[in-house]
Each structure stands twice: as C-alpha cells, then as structure tokens.
Amino acid sequence: MAAALLAACTVQIAFGQAYPSKPIRIIVPFAAGGLVDTLARTMGPALNESMGQPVVIENRAGGSSIIGMSACAKAAADGYTLCFTTADSLGYNPHLFLDLPYHPDADFAPIINLGWTNNLLVANAKAPFNSYKELIAHAKAKPGAINWATWGPASLPDLYLQWTKRQFGLDITAIPYKGAAQGNPAVLSGEADVTYMGFGVAGPFIKAGKIKPLVAIGDRRSSFMPNLPTLADEGGDPGLRGYFGAFAPGRTPRRIVDRLNAELTKAIRTSKLQDLYRASTLEFMENSSSEFAEFTKTDRANAGKVFRGIGIRPSSAPS
C-alpha cells in the first residue's frame, strides 16, 4: 500500500514538473483581427519562449462568444487549452441567455485579468451627427434610421445600445457582427453608423478622418481625449467596464492555473506586449488567480443588476 501511494505521488509530482510537455492551445471566441485575437497572438510567442512549447491560437467565433467558450469548457482540464475572452462571455451571457451551455463558475478556472480597456462610442465620418447628444436627437427625429454595429447579443456594443435606447426612449437598429474585426470595418465603410471601440483601435482612424468620437465610456475623461465628454457627463453610465481575461477549463489543477498566471504576467511585462498595451490603451494591474476569480463574480453580479435595471431579460442563446 505504501509503495502504491508513493508511486502515485511520484507520478503526480512528475506531471507537475513536466508541464508543459506539448503545445498549448488558446481559444479566442471572436473572429481573427480583433483586440482579443491580437492579444493572444502577441502573447503566444512570449509564452513559447518562456514555457518551451508552441502556442496555437484557435478562433471559434459566433453565437455571442458561446461557441468558443463552450469548446473551452469541454476541453480537458490539463492546462493545454486556455481561452482569452472579454467580460461578455462569463459576466453578461449568464444573465442574457436561458439555456447557456456552460456554467460561468463550474466550467471555468479564472487564471488572470489580462487588462482593462478604455473605450468610446464612434460614428462613421459622414454620419449626420457629431456628438452623443446629436446622435440622440437624430434618433428621436428619425426612428430606426441609425444602424449600430454590435458583436452580437450580449456583447458590450449591444449592451450600450440597449442601455441608450432604454435611457432615452430611442429606436436604433442593431446590426450584429462576429466581433470587432467585422464590426469596426462596417462603421469605417459606412455600412453601419455607430459602434463601440477602444481608444487604441479608434485613435488612428480618428486621426485619418474615417470616424469621429461621440462620447467616452465611463465616468472619467480619458487622458487620450480629455475634451471628449463621458457618458456620465451626458446622462449616466451603466458601469460596465470591459476587461480581458484568461481562463482554463474548470477543474484544471490549481498548480497549473497558478503557473499560467505567473507565465502570463511575465509575458505581459515583455516589450512587445507593453507596446501593444500602450497602443491599445490597455491597463494591467498584477493579480492572482484567486483575486481574478473573486473579481469575475463581483462583475457578474453587478452586470445582473444593470441588466435588470434597464429591462433586459434572458432569451434563448444564439446557435
């Protein structure tokens, strides 16, 4: 019996020491080209160098991130499948869909909060309004005339659209895309009028005259555009601050989760990731896996209060 226990312990220790011994997959539940995808693809080489194994990025877009997150939840809990996503997937979807095929706590092991974003609402340069107040006035004068690009139901662009409609009694048309990689070009081309972007993404297009800023998300003016009013200035903000998070399938061993937290923190400190964070206006504060787990629960509870307050009720999940 003692020999058997010793052998079992030896195998467990060896497994822990051997990790990782094969390629690591990062699932991105959005289309290629968006910020989550760019973050994962920039992170991959840094993890490869640090951990000694290739990192493969797999885009599983669609269904308000449900397709990709379901794939992550069903993967083996061995540390070889991760998912990078936004607050939408585990903070908002549980309140928005009745038949969500994953549980936000049981099916995922939070690894690390990769960063927060500074965001704003933007419009195509030729849109017939130049501010958030003018957008509201135009929507009241011409119900249904404004097309608002979202990343699908439950995405942050869609939630801010629903909040704006509810707050001001507006009729605005939602146009769902499979992520920012498709939604942003739609506004640049004029296929859609308005969307939600990060300052880092929007900045070059604003300078090039292809889009115009309408309002900053949140209650604090950004140092990037200090003269741009915030939603709080213009009538209130729902308090849904976007974040990027790394998760593993539920039941992934704690030692592996903590190892990944340390490796991702190390990767974020590299020069290439720091350049990306600055360019994308991402903010990072070092956090442990347990701190991030507590954060996700608090964020999800706050989102539920916001959704109920603006009259959003759960519906069937998109396929």
How confident is the model over 176-193, as pLDDT tens digits?
998 888 999 999 999 999
List strand residue ranges (DSSP E) for the chain, in order.
24-28, 55-59, 81-86, 108-117, 119-124, 147-150, 173-176, 194-198, 211-216, 243-249, 282-283
For the chain, the 3-state helix, strand and coil shares in percent, each to the nearest 5, are 45, 20, 35
Reported as a single tens digit per residue, the pLDDT across 239-255 is: 787 799 999 999 999 99
pLDDT classification of 4: cutoffs 50, 70, 90? very low
Return the pLDDT at 153. Answer: 74
Outline which parts of the chain fall under CATH 3.40.190.150.
22-116+241-309
* 3-state SS class at 65: coil
Whether the full predicted model's pTM is greater than 0.85, yes or no, is no
On the question of a cis peptide bond just before residue 104, with omega within 30 degrees of 0, the verdict is no
Return the pLDDT at 69. Answer: 98
pLDDT classification of 156: cutoffs 50, 70, 90? confident
SS (H, E, C) 185-227: HHHHHCCCCEEEEEHHHHHHHHHCCCEEEEEECCCCCCCCCCC
Q: 280 near 40, Cβ under 8 Å?
A: no
pLDDT classification of 12: cutoffs 50, 70, 90? very low
For the cut 50, the answer to whether the pLDDT of residue 8 exceeds it is no
Return the pLDDT at 260. Answer: 99
Reported as a single tens digit per residue, the pLDDT across 273-315 is: 999 998 888 889 999 999 999 999 999 998 999 888 877 889 8
For the cut 50, the answer to whether the pLDDT of residue 7 exceeds it is no
Return the pLDDT at 17. Answer: 58
pLDDT classification of 159: cutoffs 50, 70, 90? confident
Return the pLDDT at 201. Answer: 87
- Amino acid (1-letter code) at residue 55: V
Return the pLDDT at 220. Answer: 78
Reported as a single tens digit per residue, the pLDDT across 31-73 is: 999 889 999 999 999 999 999 999 999 999 999 899 999 999 9
Q: Count H helices, E strands: the chain?
A: 12, 11
Domain 119-216 has CATH 3.30.70.260: no
Return the pLDDT at 221. Answer: 82
Return the pLDDT at 154. Answer: 63
For the cut 80, the answer to whether the pLDDT of residue 10 exceeds it is no
Among the ranges given (13-22, 143-152, 281-290), the one the predictor scored with the smallest mean pLDDT: 13-22
pLDDT classification of 267: cutoffs 50, 70, 90? very high
Mean predicted lDDT score pLDDT of the chain: 91
Q: Where are the alpha helices (DSSP H) in 222-309?
A: 254-268, 271-280, 289-309
Outline which parts of the chain fall under CATH 3.40.190.10.
119-216
pLDDT classification of 3: cutoffs 50, 70, 90? very low
For the cut 80, the answer to whether the pLDDT of residue 15 exceeds it is no
For the cut 50, the answer to whether the pLDDT of residue 101 exceeds it is yes
Q: Residue 134 and residue 138: Cα distance in Å, rounded?
A: 6
Reported as a single tens digit per residue, the pLDDT across 115-129 is: 987 789 999 999 999
Domain 22-116+241-309 has CATH 3.40.50.10190: no
